[in-house]
Structure 1
């Protein structure tokens, strides 16, 4: 009981309700497609329920294990992450879907190594910079080493190709750097390098360039590159204030691709209206404020930097997904945290939340 009194119980309860909401919306958004493809209306629902159950067990485990243990595991975690990211690119090992090779099959279960990379890179960056505070003015000794590993991870993920996740990881690790005492000149130089690099990789690939142009002018190619975004617009505009009612979406009946994964927010808007949208945004705002509070109260630099990294990564991922659904950002395939269908994403998100809760337990008064 003393343990549950010291952790951020409001965040734990909020996560439980929001993940339950996500499971409900996965069922609502997926049952037409599941019926057509598998003749089982509950196919995706049962799988998401299984992953949520596993994720909850791992969340509790991560919530109990002292976060300082991860400092000893950093070499193993980074090595495992890089091996898995490399295996994705090996023919007959990596699994291709939708012209991307982002999965490997482990015992018949598909797993996305990039999801593991999201949390292991945060642990690595928080570990390194919490130990190098006195050398942070020295770029070569106190700043550069983790950036080399980050560049390798970025390149491996980009080969899948997955520019969206690459950008997310770079930004999240950059936020950890932001909360150190790094000199502004070094931070500015790294920011400019990152922006130029992302723009270069975005415009030099026909595939990625098409993603950018389709979000800028989707109605120029309504039958192809703009099709998904246009149907997202229709879904959102149809919902109005209160929505059509749970289960009553029309766009999920084969019109909106990825309705239960990347574009599940469009179905939420259609079925639950603006009220449903506010519910989702309200949770992420709540998560953001609790995460910042946990980071500020963390017992040491490692916990502080790790809490900042986890908080900004989850909120940034939500922002990227919502921006794509609304047409403010290019479509990148980034799932909506805790809501979109997908075992790897949900489990890793819940583990990250468990680590954040453990940091909250070991806070300073």
Structure 2
């Protein structure tokens, strides 16, 4: 038993693990820097947000470890129960008096001084559910009615519950991650294009149906048309980025975080990184995300189990598309969606669930490496069943 544990420890993907914790280290450092002013203004304590993030990071590390040693196959067996709990939480958060309302959105459930965001749990739940469902549907995957449609009904229900909070950004992110799993499941191209077209049309209609969402789109196209209103956040992000230059102003020396840049420690934390560490800091963070993406897609290619493949693809794509949407909004290349930067932005539920996903990815990588290790140890010519 001890030798098996030691061998498994050695077989872990340490490049992936180092990348994940490098991103988390940057995150906790930048949350400390970016939240100092707001933390004092709201709590009277310069370090309140930083201390909360440390607690969440500690919990996230525990969850990461558990996910990295817990067999991924068990998730498929428990997916119905996990789905039930997730849906119940998404319903409970909408109940006045239970759901915590902030900025006209009810997305959190309060637990003492901490809050939990059920939609973050839904991100992981739906990835597991879709990976499991389309693994079971392989025999009828080319049949649109029997193989493709049934899991989409559950996705539509979860999408609607999150939209009622309202949170179109998170709902769309879940839609994209699940859509990627469908794309990689072996479904017919015509079915995929039909679903993609329908999803894009639906999200576009929802994006322009509410005045505040439409303002986000128009401010993204021309933020200077309303510099004191819808374009204010993006303009201050531009100022932060341009102030950083190549090497930045130095750690803690950002000026935009002092009440000028809204959400400096959450949605726009990358703007603070750009101001304090310049283009070099941006390149370092991007390099880490690219490393994560490469390792994730390599894992998805090297595991043999279809469930493991779809799970690795869903997790990797979700984290990478979330990074892409956040950086696109921060730089003015995409509309502002309120999506945080994975591993780095302030936020307990987001950090813990992202680390849970990363732990599952490490577990899948360990499974892959164990298979490769078995192959390498077999005598030449001996058949190996995988």
TM (norm. structure 2) is: 0.93
1:68 to 48, 73, 82: 73
SS in 1 for 2:218: helix
CA deviations 1:77-105 (Å, max 9, x no partner) are: 11111111111111111111112111111
SS in 1 for 2:110: strand
* In structure 2, distance between residues paired with 1:35 and 1:198: 38
**Runs of at least 4 residues off by over 2 Å:** 106-109
1:360, CA displacement in angstroms? Answer: 0.6
1:190-209 matches, cutoff 5 A? 190-209=195-214
Partner in structure 2 of residue 101 of structure 1 = 106
Partner in structure 1 of residue 135 of structure 2 = 130
Partner in structure 1 of residue 295 of structure 2 = 290
Partner in structure 1 of residue 358 of structure 2 = 353
Partner in structure 2 of residue 315 of structure 1 = 320
Partner in structure 2 of residue 163 of structure 1 = 168
- Within the alignment, does 1:153 sit opposite 2:158 as a pair? yes
Higher Rg? 2
1:109, CA displacement in angstroms? Answer: 2.2
CA deviations 1:17-39 (Å, max 9, x no partner) are: 22011100100111122122222
* In structure 1, distance between residues paired with 2:282 and 2:110: 35
* In structure 2, distance between residues paired with 1:299 and 1:188: 27
* In structure 2, distance between residues paired with 1:277 and 1:4: 32
2:218 to 201, 204, 213: 213
Q: How many residues align?
A: 365
2:177 to 172, 178, 194: 172
1:253, CA displacement in angstroms? Answer: 0.8
The answer as to whether partners of 1:299 and 1:362 remain within 8 angstroms in 2 is no
CA deviations 1:33-77 (Å, max 9, x no partner) are: 212222211111111111001100110000000000001111011
Higher mean C-alpha deviation, range 161-170 or range 101-110: 101-110
Higher mean C-alpha deviation, range 13-22 or range 336-345: 13-22
CA deviations 1:87-136 (Å, max 9, x no partner) are: 11111111111121111113442111000000000000000111111110
Partner in structure 2 of residue 144 of structure 1 = 149
Partner in structure 2 of residue 10 of structure 1 = 15
Partner in structure 2 of residue 227 of structure 1 = 232
1:333 to 312, 318, 338: 338
* In structure 1, distance between residues paired with 2:22 and 2:244: 23
Partner in structure 2 of residue 40 of structure 1 = 45
- Within the alignment, does 1:250 sit opposite 2:270 as a pair? no
The answer as to whether partners of 1:58 and 1:351 remain within 8 angstroms in 2 is yes
* In structure 2, distance between residues paired with 1:178 and 1:148: 17
* In structure 2, distance between residues paired with 1:2 and 1:224: 58
The answer as to whether partners of 1:262 and 1:335 remain within 8 angstroms in 2 is yes
* In structure 2, distance between residues paired with 1:329 and 1:314: 17
Higher mean C-alpha deviation, range 30-39 or range 116-125: 30-39
- Mark the runs of 5 or more structure 1 residues left unpaired by the alignment: none
1:183 to 185, 188, 192: 188
* In structure 1, distance between residues paired with 2:290 and 2:230: 32
1:200, CA displacement in angstroms? Answer: 0.9
SS in 2 for 1:16: helix
* In structure 2, distance between residues paired with 1:183 and 1:23: 44
